[in-house]
């Protein structure tokens, strides 16, 4: 693995906050023994919750769950609202991961939330167009 700040330089450690590889020049060891990259140290980001040991941000999980529930929604309006919420949360989480504000381990969950949410919105849109078409044909 290469250093996130210096491509081509071999990483000797991993940041406890963003989980990116760091070279000895970028890696700082905190008094509690955790290691941080220069970016996380400068921005003052708090380390992830180590009590749970999760390297996946909660927003990524919520995004995926809302999108899945939205695509299988029983009713039209709650289903589309959940799908749109899951899509938006996935986009927000991807932005937070890119900025180093959320653990990068949730990238797959966030992408899945975006894709499933977008598919659900697309399917609901097709359903509305189909229903309008049927109504127009039935009125003729």
Per-residue pLDDT at 109: 92
pLDDT at 37: 81
Residues of the chain under the 70 pLDDT cut:
32, 41-54, 74
Distances (CA, A) of 113 to 36, 38, 46: 29, 30, 25
- CB 24 within 8 Å of CB 10: no
pLDDT given at position 53: 46
What pLDDT does 47 receive?
A: 47
Same domain, 18 and 43: yes
Count of domains observed in the chain = 2
Q: What is the pTM of this model?
A: 0.60
Instruction: Measure Cα distances from 7 to 3, 15, 52, 85 in Å.
Output: 6, 16, 32, 36
Count CB-CB contacts under 10 A for residue 35.
Answer: 19
Shared domain for 78 and 115, answered yes or no, is yes
Do residues 39 and 84 both lie within one domain?
no
pLDDT at 135: 92
Structure-block tokens of residue 31: 């008094």
Range of the domain at 8: 1-47
């Amino acid at each position: 693995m290469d250093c996130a700040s210096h491509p081509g330089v071999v990483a000797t450690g991993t940041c406890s906050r963003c989980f990116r590889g760091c070279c000895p020049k970028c890696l700082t060891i905190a008094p509690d023994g955790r290691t941080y990259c220069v970016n996380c140290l400068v921005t003052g980001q708090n380390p992830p919750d180590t009590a749970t040991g999760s390297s996946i941000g909660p927003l990524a999980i919520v995004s995926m769950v809302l999108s899945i529930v939205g695509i299988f929604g029983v009713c039209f309006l709650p289903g589309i609202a959940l799908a749109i919420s899951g899509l938006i949360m996935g986009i927000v989480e991807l932005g937070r991961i890119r900025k180093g504000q959320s653990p990068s381990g949730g990238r797959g969950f966030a992408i899945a939330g975006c894709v499933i949410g977008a598919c659900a919105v697309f399917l609901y849109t097709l359903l509305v167009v189909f229903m309008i078409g049927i109504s127009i044909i039935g009125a003729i």
